Structure 1
Amino acid sequence: MTDDKGRKIAWITGASSGLGRALALRMAREGWILALSARRAEELAAVAAEARSLPGRILPFPLDTVDAQAAEATVRRIEEELGPIDLAIFNAGTHKPMLGTEITAESAAKLIDVNLKGTVNCLTAVLPRFTERQSGQLVFVASMAGYRGLPTSAIYGATKAGLINMAEALQPDLARHGIKVQVVNPGFVKTPLTDKNEFPMPFLMDVDEAAAAFYKGLMGAKFEITFPKPFAFLMKLLRLLPAGLALRLTAKAIPKEQSKTAET
């Protein structure tokens, strides 16, 4: 659906900072009408203010995606105020690097709630509208961490692998209903989330460069969108290796001081 100026409407979750914010501003420059959701209302308002001189429009719709009823109410409000959503980008997520000895039920639950449960809440809020209209585009933001188990990413990687699996399962099914499904698997992008990492991040990508690659992928026909390409190649190669060899390689990514502790 488009507004009276022919502009399409997109909903992006997790859009107050990082890649979601950069993508929203990129899309506003392309003339999109954007409904942005995140928990931090003041940061959403700041993004909207930054876009005032751009061809598109950004409007904030604060939301904690873990709340299923709030997600449904937010989608209803967006469509009442802006019109039918054409594109839903499930970008809300969180990350906390944890070695196996550091995992607690509480820390794991937070990652699972935000990365998986929150995505499902948003999906189920928007999907009936897409199926009724027999159109729409669903985009799941996962990660290359979902390709293989990596040290410090046991819970995070599991949630992202779950999103990849979810998108793969939905694509052939929803294609019959005229709905385009894509999964985005970024590598390391310079954002507040990757700032938490205390290890070298190969091919670390500028967030605006990543947003440009993201948007290009959205406009294309490929199911999977990856960036940066060299790192995607290496991670896909790692996924194809025999488990024993892959585990010996990933063991080298354990922080040195932690690996010494593990050996004693």
Structure 2
Amino acid sequence: MAGTANRGVAWVTGAGTGIGRGIARRLAEDGWSVAVSARTARDLDSLAAEVPGRITAFQLDVTDPKAADDTGRRIEADLGPVDLAVLNAGSYFPTNARSFSVDNFRKTVDLNLMGTVNCMGPIVPSMVGRRSGHIAIMGSQSAFSGLPTAASYGATKAALNSMAEAFKPDFDRYGVAITIINPGFVKTPLTAKNRFPMPFLMELDDAVEIILRGLEQRRFAINFPWQMTLSTKLLAALPGWAKFAITRKMLPKE
């Protein structure tokens, strides 16, 4: 994106660290007025200081629907209508048979799926009413095929992909763009916790560049890296016996 002034108002959730932080900083550098949300105020304040005058912090736990609604309305009251919302807040909680937990699924759904929906609540009606705007949702390559330890995470990302596909023709008739972003493994504080091999691991700056280019082009799906996309989609297309022979090898050692 070329750096120009007053490109509009963007809202980035999960902006305290990782991909969300990188996107927010780049948008601000490129001339957007950026509202950033995360649970940790310290992370937001340090981000705002990196691009003075362009980033406004709104501390938020996206799992609280009332707080998300209030925050969306405050952003539009303080900065103006949201032109671009990058709904990135989410996390990965490993899920397996031995440590199966209903609470694990509930907190994953509340954060990754309903956290996204909660933040759409205050801005989608405004965008539809104005017949303009762009919603970008953070999915994952794990949406394409069930992977060991990602039962709850992958389920929420598959749901977000399905939701985006369902909304696409409906949003189109109101002039509102919707994008689903499906990254592979990117070097962030979240992936640093992983204790398994991460094929095609990408640098954060490279991932942010791909995402911003796709948003500029208003693409529906931003899937990357291509090697991971090809691998996961081929895996999904295999017959069950072949697919599970591969995914069994991905199981962490007990």
Q: TM-score, normalised by structure 2?
A: 0.95
Residue-by-residue CA offset, 1:100-119 (whole Å, 9 max, x unaligned)? 22121122211111001111
> In 1, Cα distance between the equivalents of 2:17 and 2:157?
19
CA distance in 1 between partners of 2:169 and 2:238 (Å): 27
Write the deviation string for residues 195-241 of structure 1: whole angstroms up to 9, x where unpaired. Answer: 12111100101111111111011011321001212111211211222
2:47 corresponding residue in structure 1:
47
Question: Which residue of the partner structure matches residue 37 of structure 2?
Answer: 37
Alignment partner, residue 243 of structure 1: 240
1:153 has 2:150 as partner: yes
* 8 A contact 1:96–1:196 mirrored in 2: no
Alpha-carbon distance in structure 2 between the residues aligned to 1:50 and 1:6: 18
1:24-75 CA distance string (max 9 Å, x none): 11112211110001111111010000112xxx71110111111111111111
Instruction: Output the CA distance in 2 between the equivalents of 1:187 and 1:239.
Output: 15
Q: Would the aligned equivalents of 2:185 and 2:199 in 1 still touch at CA under 8 Å?
A: yes
- Paired residue for 1:123? 120
Cα distance in 1, alignment partners of residues 55 and 6 from structure 2: 16
Q: Secondary structure at the match of 2:56?
A: strand
Deviation at 1:139, TM superposition (A): 0.7
Residue equivalent to 2:78: 81
Q: Is the 8 A contact 1:20 1:91 kept in 2?
A: yes
Q: TM-score, normalised by structure 1?
A: 0.92
Aligned residue identity for 1:42? R
**Cα deviation, residue 98, structure 1:** 2.2
Alignment of 1:98-137 (within 5 A): 98-137=95-134
Partner amino acid for 1:102? S
In the alignment, is residue 94 of structure 1 matched against residue 91 of structure 2?
Answer: yes
- Aligned residue for 2:122, secondary structure, equals helix
The CA RMSD over aligned residues, in Å, is 1.2
Query: Match for residue 261 of structure 1?
Result: none
The answer as to whether partners of 1:97 and 1:197 remain within 8 angstroms in 2 is no
Structure 1: where are the runs of 5+ without partners?
259-264
Structure 2 residue runs without a partner (length 5+): none
The equivalent residue for 1:65 is 62
Provide Cα deviations, 1:80-130, integer angstroms capped at 9, x if missing partner.
111111011110001112222212112221111100111111112211111
Equivalent residue letter for 1:84: P
Aligned to 2:208: 211
The CA distance in 2 between the partners of 1:196 and 1:112, in whole Å, is: 20
Aligned residue for 1:125, secondary structure, equals coil
Amino acid in the other structure paired with 2:29:
R
Q: State whether structure 2 residue 152 is matched by structure 1 residue 193.
A: no
Percent of aligned pairs with the same residue?
46
- Distance in 2 between the 1:100 and 1:130 partners? 42
